[in-house]
Amino acid sequence: MRKILSLDQRILKHDIKNIFNAIVDFSTYHEWWDKSIKINVLNRTENFINSKIEITVFGKKFFCEIVKTVPHQEIVINYSGIYCGTGTWFFIEGANGVKVMYEVDLEVKNFFVVIFSFIINLSALHSKQMAKLFNGLENYFNVNTSNNSLNSARDVQPPTFTLTSN
């Protein structure tokens, strides 16, 4: 069984409510996700529970569905398709901004992706993609909510750390 295990984080100097709302609302993803990733919102609910998207990366599809939210603290997402498992967003407000973390524990279900995982470390690849997503999220807020920023747009934080495993 091949797995993707990673914990990625970034400190964002924006309002925690805005950050949480952008991440829980799949309809905003096209504005801050890497353009090489195709996103199709399949279902969007008022409380976001059971909201579901289809994601296509490198021609392979998987699905993400929100199964739990704790406002401004946590979002739990179930994966299905070529991956099966859970992703969890965590939000911690601090003196320097909001620490936004994303942890995944996924089992690879696609034969070709399993074979690929012996050549490429999928956890490291996932973390590289998360760095792009965090950059996109930071840029999204710098453009759309500059008045709600805790600091200037020039004060962008690099990832604090990334833990990956294969």
> Quick one: tokens of 47?
């409380």
Q: Are 50 and 65 in contact (CB under 8 A)?
A: yes
Higher-pLDDT residue of 147 and 109 is 109
Using pLDDT thresholds of 50, 70 and 90, give the confidence band for residue 120.
very high
Give the side-chain half-sphere CA count within 13 A for 112: 5
pLDDT at 112 over 50: yes
pLDDT at residue 110 tops 80: yes
What percentage of the chain carries pLDDT values higher than 90? 81
pTM: 0.85
Q: How far apart are CA 132 and CA 148, in angstroms?
A: 22
Domains defined for the chain, CATH in brackets: 3-165 (3.30.530.20)
| Radius of gyration in angstroms for the set of CA atoms belonging to the chain, rounded to a whole number | 16
Give 72-96 pLDDT, tens digit per residue.
999 999 999 999 999 999 999 998 9
In this predicted model, what pLDDT tens digit does every residue of 28-81 receive, in sequence order? Answer: 999 999 999 999 999 999 999 999 999 999 899 999 999 999 999 999 999 999
